Amino acid sequence: MTDPSSREVSEALAARVGAAHVLTDPRDTAPYFTDWTGRAEGRALCVCRPGSVAEVSEVLRYCSGHGIPVFPQGGNTSSVAGGIPGPEGKGVLLSLSRLARVDSVDTDTNCLIAGAGCTLEQVRAAAEAAGRLFPLTLASQGSCQIGGNVSTNEGGTAVLRYGNTRDLVLGLEMVLADGRVWNGLRSLRKDNSGYDMKSLFVGAEGTLGIVTRVALKLFPPTPARAMAFAALPSPAAAVTLLGRLRSEFGQDVDAAELFSGPQLDIIARHVPGVALPFAPLPDWAVMIDIQCARDDPTERLHALLAELLDSGLLLDAVPALGGAQAEAFWKIRHGVSEANRRHGLNFTHDIAVPISAVPEVIARCEDALARHWPEATPHTVAHLGDGNVHFTAIFPPERLEEPGNPARLGGEVAQVVHDIAVALGGSFAAEHGIGQRYRASLRRYKSEIELEMFRSLKAAFDPQDILNPGKLL
Ligand SMILES: Cc1cc2nc3c(=O)[nH]c(=O)nc-3n(C[C@H](O)[C@H](O)[C@H](O)COP(=O)(O)OP(=O)(O)OC[C@H]3O[C@@H](n4cnc5c(N)ncnc54)[C@H](O)[C@@H]3O)c2cc1C
């Protein structure tokens, strides 16, 4: 059997999803083939935009029948070039954007069922309209899609309280590599009837199947809220602060986000309308968000901050005076990725260590950067309560001009940072996944037996290797 031509593939897919939903003109396909950082680009025969589960199934049936690779894409906000194809130009980019309907919100079961193409913002708004909370939240929520969040086991800024996306998924509907549809769209809190298949698909980065619908856990809203920014001398002081917050507020600590002073400075320079709470900037700061279902935590938070200021643990503290300032504080946190991108040549890392090791991992990374690349500057933001540190090295732009860069330089820095995290009992990929960017690190740090289990799973679900080849494995 000869491979079908590019035109034959487009025509076959058009017969299944409608000609208007198969894109081949480079002006239409370009946004799908470039990642949001603008640093990675791929190619495919066409972009195919099915409008129903049945159409996704038909597309997969056709592609598997002809051995054609399929690259699933949600909102294309992956930080690891996971949502774009490789450079080969073979295969079909499968956009799930048209599966964008919220099917149901059940406030007795506390379960929401939505199509994979719903944006995270859409899901959150549907929950809110029904008097419930879907707690997953991150800066890209207006663009990223719930199918992408599931496929990357998204973290975000509320993991401390609600867990990762895996903890929020009750069930999934999946289209398998050969086009068969698995309906695992359950809303059960308890189900020990064999292997937990949905957990396998969460975080699989589109390499084991296509997510078409999701059943998600909802929570009661937490309208009583207090926020503050605290200035501290060190990450070690921040870890002590987190311990005190948890003793006082238990699970009501919604977020504790650590910033280095230079990282705050970059946000102020590049995100319009951001007002920083401190001048001059401290070396370190923690943004605290306490949320409760009923009792207003404001007075208790202020009393705790006053005590910690007296004890010398904090250098300064600025409480949010109402909802508008709370929003302004979150604007600072959500400005990080965009600000770093605008600032220039930067390499961000997504490492995790035990919380007690956060000060050590930051110190070691800063020290290694100063020794190996004195021309670079370190910037840190961390989901402190998850031990998840985004350590960013920013280089002068002229390093871009060197042959092979930024990929070569990025790879060298990543190896040094990842070695440090792994040596401290940590992970080199906490929440963004592997994508195309961290495949070398996967091979470097995973044991042979773990890689063997990965390969066995991949072979069982996708024997032809057509689902998102070049990602993860
Ligand atoms: C400004 C900004 C801030 C961010 N902040 C965070 C953060 O705080 N925490 C964090 O973890 N990440 C963060 N990210 C990264 C990104 O938003 C998440 O990884 C998000 O979950 C990706 O969703 P997406 O729909 O854009 O997926 P895409 O980028 O389109 O795809 C991501 C991966 O999922 C696969 N995929 C997508 N949809 C499906 C589907 N329906 N079925 C099967 N596979 C699929 C793709 O093939 C790819 O492997 C941020 C990104 C940006 C731009």
Q: Is 160 left (phi over 0), alpha (psi -120 to 50) or beta?
A: alpha
Quote the crossing angle between the two packed helices 358-372 and 407-423, to the nearest 10°. Answer: 140
**Cβ of 441 less than 6 Å from ligand 1:** no
Q: Give the atom of ligand 1 at the shortest distance from the alpha carbon of 435.
A: 49
Burial class (CB in 10 A: 0-12, 13-18, 19+), 189: exposed
- Tell me what pLDDT residue 144 has: 98
**Cβ of 350 less than 6 Å from ligand 1:** no
Question: Could you tell me what percentage of the chain is helix, strand and coil, using 3-state DSSP and rounding each to the nearest 5?
Answer: 40, 20, 40
**Cβ of 78 less than 6 Å from ligand 1:** yes
Residue 140 near residue 431 (C-beta atoms within 8 A) = no
**Cβ of 436 less than 6 Å from ligand 1:** no
- Tell me what pLDDT residue 397 has: 83
**Cβ of 207 less than 6 Å from ligand 1:** no
Task: Provide the 8-state DSSP code for 251.
Answer: G
- Tell me what pLDDT residue 5 has: 86
- Tell me what pLDDT residue 322 has: 87
Residues paired with residue 378 on neighbouring β-strands, in sequence order: 393
Q: Give the atom of ligand 1 at the shortest distance from the alpha carbon of 337.
A: 1
422: tokens are 């792994």
**Cβ of 177 less than 6 Å from ligand 1:** no
| Nearest alpha-carbon partner for 211 in 140, 273, 147 | 147
- Tell me what pLDDT residue 108 has: 97
- Distance in Å, CA 22 to ligand 1 centroid: 23
- Distance in Å, CA 73 to ligand 1 centroid: 9
Task: Provide the 8-state DSSP code for 339.
Answer: H
- Distance in Å, CA 240 to ligand 1 centroid: 32
Give nearest CA residue, ligand 1 atom 18.
78
Written as tens digits, the pLDDT of the chain (473 aa) is 567 888 999 999 999 999 999 999 999 999 999 998 887 899 999 999 999 999 999 999 999 999 999 999 999 999 899 999 999 888 999 999 999 999 999 999 999 999 999 999 999 999 999 999 999 999 999 999 999 999 999 998 899 999 999 999 999 999 999 999 999 999 999 999 999 999 999 999 999 999 999 999 999 999 999 999 999 999 999 999 999 999 999 999 999 999 999 999 999 999 999 999 999 999 999 999 999 999 999 999 999 999 999 999 999 999 999 889 999 999 999 999 889 888 887 899 999 999 999 999 999 999 999 999 999 999 999 999 999 999 999 998 888 778 888 889 999 999 999 999 999 999 999 999 999 999 999 999 999 999 999 999 999 999 999 999 999 98
**Cβ of 110 less than 6 Å from ligand 1:** no
359 upstream amide cis, omega within 30 of 0: no
- Tell me what pLDDT residue 2 has: 62
**Cβ of 140 less than 6 Å from ligand 1:** yes
Residue 461 near residue 394 (C-beta atoms within 8 A) = no
Q: Largest Cα–Cα distance of the chain, in whole Å?
A: 78
Domains of the chain by start residue, with CATH: 102-217 (3.30.465.10), 224-337 (3.30.70.2190), 344-432 (3.30.70.2740)
